[in-house]
Amino acid sequence: MSLIVGRRYAFGEDEKDGEVRLFTRAMRQLMFLIGAFEYSDVIPFIEWMDLQGHVKLMKQIAKLMDYFMSRWLEEHVQSRKHALVKEERDFMDVLLSLFPEGGVEYGHNHRNIVKGTALSMIVAGSDTTTAAMIWALSLLLNHNKYLKLVQQELDMHVGRERWAEESDIKDLIYLQAVVKETLRLYPPGPLSIPRESIEDCHVAGYFVPKGTRLIVNVWKLHRDPRVWTDPCEFRPERFLDRNAEAGERGREFEFEYLPFGSGRRSCPGAKAAHLMTHLTLARLLQGFNVTAPMDGMVDMSEGLGLVLPKATPLDVVVFPRLKRELYLQ
């Protein structure tokens, strides 16, 4: 949110609490609806009945999202108009600088293009990063030895006198392996965004006619026993030596590992998502010792949605592990 529209929300700010809760609830409902099963997907002619009420709810959420995006866009426009902003502060400012006021592209005015693009970035980046963080922490709580190894690495390369920074991530090799293994087991998009073949072709002996909708099962690909040793096991060390895991292929991972897609149509926010996940997880594990309530095992059941969520909320007990002054900065 801060990178895209310059908004940073935190619960506890009374005047903003209502807005925060409304927006976060709408986001959760949106992500659920995008991945929800619809009877009309199987029986198309009953679509008009909206038996599950999903169409009605989606329209309500769309209006709410448009309200938020319109308000934030107007704030940016006014700030630029009155010279309150001398440089681009966020993604929405950059988009506004690219389009003249009142212009039209492909039948859409520039304001709608800016709103739509910014909203797409928010939707694509918010829940995916959150889900990755939750799964990573859940896996580490169930595999304490890996949790300790990450914290030892943080103590060695960062220490306990300051917070981890973006520049430290390159040295945190084991942390990177943990994040990669998390994204292998629980990819942010278990099914890829649909594509459509533009011409007849043959793939692995199968005829794919023009106009076929193509969806890659990333979750299954990441757990293929023909590619991965012990595919359902959490083993971050498999990413410490790529060629060892690749075996006789003698090359790095290519199409076996696609948490953010591949090629020109891959996720444009992959680098930002990687950075956010690594830095947030690094600071959390550097600053706190974490355990599951009663030292029990975390339920790893998967829920439903476009982004792969946990079926049950993650409860964590935290204890500070740094000196008090650092938490007051």
Amino acid 141: pLDDT: 97
Amino acid 170: pLDDT: 94
Q: pTM above the 0.85 mark?
A: no
Domain spans in the chain, listed from the N-terminal domain onward: 1-98, 125-329
CB 136 within 8 A of CB 193: no
Amino acid 133: pLDDT: 93
> Rounded distance, CA 122 to CA 5, Å?
9
> Rounded distance, CA 94 to CA 82, Å?
17
Question: What is the CATH number assigned to the segment(s) 125-329?
Answer: 1.10.630.10
Block mean pLDDT (10 aa), the chain, length 329:
66 56 83 80 86 91 90 85 69 82 75 86 77 95 96 96 94 96 92 89 92 91 93 94 46 74 79 87 96 92 84 94 90
Amino acid 8: pLDDT: 63
Amino acid 15: pLDDT: 47
Compute CA 185 distance to the chain's CA centroid, rounded to the nearest angstrom: 14
User: Is 201 one of the annotated binding-site residues?
Assistant: no
